[in-house]
Amino acid sequence: MIELNPIYLFDKEGLSGYLHQQALNGKHITYVTSDFLVFKRGAPKDLRFTVLLSDDQPVEKVIRKRIASSYEYCIYTFEKEEDTSIALRKRSRFAKAVYVTPLTNFIICLCSFAMINTSQNNFIFGSRRALYARITLPVIIISFLLYCFWLWRRKKALKKARNNQQQLYKNKWDYMGKLVCLSIIFINFFIVLGFSYYIIFIIFLYLLFHFIYFHSTLYIMILILCMSIFLFLPDHSNQNNMLKEYFPSTPNGYIYHDDQTLFVSKYENLGAKSNINDFKETLFYDYYQVTSSWVLHKLEEYLFIKQETPIQLDTYERLSDNSFEQAYMKTVEGGVQLYYFQSGYHILILANNSSNTTEQVIRFAKMKLNIEGD
């Protein structure tokens, strides 16, 4: 059976007494976190428990039966007549004042690894890195400071209760506060990462932390690093084949970046260069797929006004193809052809300095903007 844990994380003595009372009632602990307790029914027993936090370090190896270990606790059980004391190494003053749980380390670590990408996107609503720096990171810092303040207040209340020989239990605001805090953190990740398997990855790791015991947080940090590199780095495998299909003379070497947020469901940046028969061929494009008309307006504002070199469509020539809502081209110094295509929530900006024809560019633009027909 599963129950909410009514004892504060830092109240080891309180949890030991609570588990003792449950054992007398025939409920024996099998798993424990600061949020919930898992019991199994059995015969009532007069058992004693010693509760250690994950950062507690025994002076000597404990040769006792260990039960209910989790990322926050390590609990040992003793018979009635046995000595339950375990000598611990001294902790620093900071560690005593503010207990930073492995879950906190997990969130901080995940925040860092979640930003593993090489995107060059400067449009704030389409840049995972920019949204993280402006929204998620401040929220994480504020949440952590509020957590430290709450922890200090609860420890003062616990000390007062101990002096009055009372047990301090969690109240509804403690449960609500943690729920709200976690919700805000996950909403921020949702804003930064959008509708993607990244969110599933984060939820999976959070649940993994709750249900699997790791002796050291180092293990889980290594796991996060490996999985983050695997998931967050862009997949380039199909880019070359796609370019060759639409641009047969496209060079083999290219640099590709992608990005995704709640506001821009897909961003791609590609630059290709090579020398073929002493003729330097280049192809560059930026592709945006936004999620709403408001974001489209903000993107156009950025492209036409705010970016370092704004696009001036009044200097472009409108293309005759009516498949697009907007289709423009102009030739600049060096024979480079600049293209701008927009249809619905899709925008493609392309620079072509190669033997690729305008017809090939239009065919490619229709593919990227999901327009049927040639």
Each residue of 311-323: pLDDT tens digit? Answer: 999 999 999 888 9
What does the mean pLDDT of the chain come to?
Answer: 78
Helix, strand, coil share of the chain (percent; to 5): 45, 25, 35
Cα–Cα distances in angstroms (integers) from residue 13 to residues 40, 53, 310, in the given order:
22, 11, 65
The listed range with the strongest mean pLDDT (117-121, 122-126, 182-186, 281-285) is 122-126
Fold designation for 239-368: Protein Transport Mog1p; Chain A (3.40.1000)
Mean pLDDT of 293-298: 95
pLDDT tens digits, 232-269: 555 555 666 677 778 776 656 677 788 888 899 999 88
- For residue 71, the 8-state DSSP code is S
pTM of the model: 0.68
pLDDT of 365: 94
Kindly state the helix (H) or strand (E) to which residue 352 belongs, with its residue range. Answer: strand 346-353
Task: Please tell me the predicted confidence (pLDDT) of residue 51.
Answer: 86
Residues 6+ apart with CB under 8 A from 187: none
| Mean pLDDT of the 300-308 span | 92
Tell me whether strands 254-259 and 65-67 are parallel, antiparallel or unpaired.
unpaired
Judged against a pLDDT cut of 70, whether residue 4 lies above it is answered with: yes
Q: Among residues of the chain, what percentage have pLDDT more than 90?
A: 24
What values do phi and psi take at 312, rounded to 5? -110, 95
In whole angstroms, what is the distance from residue 28 CA to residue 20 CA?
Answer: 9
Cβ atoms of 17 and 6 closer than 8 Å? no
